[in-house]
Structure formats: structure tokens, C-alpha cells
């Protein structure tokens, strides 16, 4: 591809994706539209020559990209409010960015006949029990939080553009991402930051909530494969089967750090806290040939802790 448009490219996953695109020469030019909110990495992507940042809300995409529309070969839509706790304390920005913003992006894609991948989350499937089978792409959506509800709404709006207008829309749904340079509000960087500062590690409830984990580089490569090989109007789960309870993860980190369990502080559970997410990824594996390459979350944590402790 010559030129791609990325939304939310200063976020953790979006910037990882842009780095992958340039390092593997998948596209010559990247335009990134990002309004640079509190969690944006403002230093991201500046090392790349053919990179352009447009500081703007995606709801203003038509004005922000006026005159550039015909140069764009593909859209990768990452931009979203994503922190569940924030969606509980202040829901309105999630509707603005995740619902209205996605509507504007697929409308822009339709208007200029540009294919688009809409990046979503496993949380749209809702909570599973410990015994339930992993979620498949055809499962009924049962989002629990404002965050996941806005992402489910975005998915449905995006897919409606394929069914109604034949816009080339594809949706990906991924599990929890990890990697270097993730914003501190997320679980793993928060734990590591607290350990560095000698603080307690807060764990919601009993810590038995289960999440599936993926390296953001694997996620990025999967998204590109969906763009290249996936079918319009289809959904692709992206996961690894690396499922761990929060308390199992925290105890593993403490062991790597050399800290005791007295470092754990159990706190009041999050409102509406889902028990488990798990993705069945047979579709992307069998149809597109994607498999993760970068190990598991404990491999990453061992490396991250080693870097922190090495003078």
C-alpha cells in the first residue's frame, strides 16, 4: 500500500501498529489522526520520515482530511476510549468517541470508497463462566460495561455499512494487550509502577477474574493480515489462549520481582466486573493462517522486570 490512515495512532496499540507498518515496509506513508488525550504517547512515531500526525477528534474527520481523501488506500480505526473504570465514572466520552466517532469513520470510508478495519474487543461478548466455551464470532453480544456497550455499538454500526452500502468493512476483536510503553492506567504497567515505587498492588475483589493476553505486536500483525486476506463484512477474533486469573498474574509478577504476597491489597470489586473473557480464534488461524509469534505474558513480564532492575 502507498498511504494508510490510522486513527488513535498515539495510543499504545495504534503506535505499535504504526511501528510494525514502517519496520516491515507494509506501507510507504502513514497519516495518523489522534486528538492526543491524557493517555496518548505524544512522542510516538516521530522517528519515521513518512509519518504525518493530524491532531484532531475523529468526529471531525471530513474536515481534518479534506483534500487528502483520494490518497488513502486503507483505514485502520483504533481510536477509542478504552479504560473501563473511566466509563463507569464518566460514560459520555465513550459514546462520543466509540459510537459517534466510529460512525464518522465508516461514513468517511463509504464516501470515498476506502476499505476499513475497525478494531474492537473481546469484551463485547460479555462475561463467560469458568466452564463456558470460548467466544466465537457468531455469538450474541452481551456487553456489560459502558465501554464494552459502546464498542459493541460501534461494531454493529460498522458492519451495517457493509450489509447496507457494501462498504469494505472488517471487524477484529482482540483480548488484553501487553507490551512496552503501555499507559500506566492499565493493569500490567500499573503493577510494575507500584512495585518500583514500593506501593501495594491493588487487586479487585478476589482476583479470580480471568483474562486472555496477547503481545501488541502479534495483534498488529493479525490486523494487517485481516486487511490483506480477510473478507469484507466479516469479524475475526484475535487471541492466544493464554488465559490467567488476575491473582495468578499478580503472584507471578511478585515472584519475578522477589516480593511477598503482603504486597497485595485486595480492594472493592469493580462494578459489573466480568468473570472471564476467552476467544476462539479458529477462524483467523484456519482461514487466514495467522498465529502469534511473540511468546506469552509471563515472558514479557520477565523481560520487563529485568530491564527495570538492570542498572
Dist CA 170 CA 109 (whole Å): 12
Dist CA 178 CA 182 (whole Å): 7
> CA triplet 14, 116, 105: central angle to 5 degrees?
80
Question: Hey, which residues are catalytic here?
Answer: 122-123, 147
Banded model confidence at residue 89, pLDDT cuts 50, 70, 90: confident
Dist CA 224 CA 75 (whole Å): 11
Give the pLDDT mean for 133-157.
97
- Computed over its alpha carbons, how large is the radius of gyration of the chain? 19
CB 51 within 8 A of CB 32: yes
Q: pTM of this prediction?
A: 0.95
Spatial CA neighbour of 245 closest among 273, 217, 226, 268 = 273
pLDDT tens-digit map of 227-286: 999 999 999 999 999 999 999 999 999 999 999 999 999 999 988 899 999 999 999 999
CB 283 within 8 A of CB 236: yes
CB 17 within 8 A of CB 222: no
Dist CA 281 CA 283 (whole Å): 5
CB 115 within 8 A of CB 227: yes
Cα distances (angstroms) measured from residue 180 to each of 210, 253, 297, 307, 308: 22, 16, 12, 11, 12
Contacts of 197 (CB under 8 A, 6+ apart): none
> Does the structure show a pLDDT above 90 at 309?
no
pLDDT tens-digit map of 180-231: 988 888 889 999 999 999 999 999 999 999 999 999 999 999 999 999 999 9
pLDDT of residue 88: 82
Amino acid at each position: 500500500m502507498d498511504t494508510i490512515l490510522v486513527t488513535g495512532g498515539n495510543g499504545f496499540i495504534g503506535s505499535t501498529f504504526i511501528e510494525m507498518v514502517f519496520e516491515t515496509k507494509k506501507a510507504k506513508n502513514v497519516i495518523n489522526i489522534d486528538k492526543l488525550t491524557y493517555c496518548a504517547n505524544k512522542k510516538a512515531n516521530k522517528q519515521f520520515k513518512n509519518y504525518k500526525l493530524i491532531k484532531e477528534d475523529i468526529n471531525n474527520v471530513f474536515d481534518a482530511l479534506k483534500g487528502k481523501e483520494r490518497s488513502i488506500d486503507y483505514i485502520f480505526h483504533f481510536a477509542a476510549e478504552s479504560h473501563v473504570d473511566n466509563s463507569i465514572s464518566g460514560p459520555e466520552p465513550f459514546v462520543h468517541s466509540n459510537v459517534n466517532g466510529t460512525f464518522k469513520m465508516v461514513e468517511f470510508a463509504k464516501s470515498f470508497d476506502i476499505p476499513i478495519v475497525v478494531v474492537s474487543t473481546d469484551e463485547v461478548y460479555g462475561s463467560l463462566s469458568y466452564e463456558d466455551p470460548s467466544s466465537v464470532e457468531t455469538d450474541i453480544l452481551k456487553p456489560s460495561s459502558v465501554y464494552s456497550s459502546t464498542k459493541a455499538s460501534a461494531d454493529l454500526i460498522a458492519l451495517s455499512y457493509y450489509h447496507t452500502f457494501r462498504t469494505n468493512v472488517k471487524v477484529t476483536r482482540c483480548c488484553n494487550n501487553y507490551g512496552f510503553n503501555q499507559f500506566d492506567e492499565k493493569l500490567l504497567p500499573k503493577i510494575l509502577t507500584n512495585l518500583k515505587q514500593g506501593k501495594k498492588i491493588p487487586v479487585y475483589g478476589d482476583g479470580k477474574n480471568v483474562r486472555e493476553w496477547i503481545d501488541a505486536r502479534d495483534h498488529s500483525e493479525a490486523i494487517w493480515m485481516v486487511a490483506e486476506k480477510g473478507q469484507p463484512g466479516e469479524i475475526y477474533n484475535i487471541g492466544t489462549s493464554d488465559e490467567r486469573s488476575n491473582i495468578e498474574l499478580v503472584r507471578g509478577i511478585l515472584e519475578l520481582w522477589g516480593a511477598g504476597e503482603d504486597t497485595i491489597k485486595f480492594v472493592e470489586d469493580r462494578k459489573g466486573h466480568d468473570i472471564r473473557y476467552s476467544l476462539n480464534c479458529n477462524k483467523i488461524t484456519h482461514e487466514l493462517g495467522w498465529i502469534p509469534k511473540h511468546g506469552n505474558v509471563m515472558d514479557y513480564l520477565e523481560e520487563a522486570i529485568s530491564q527495570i532492575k538492570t542498572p
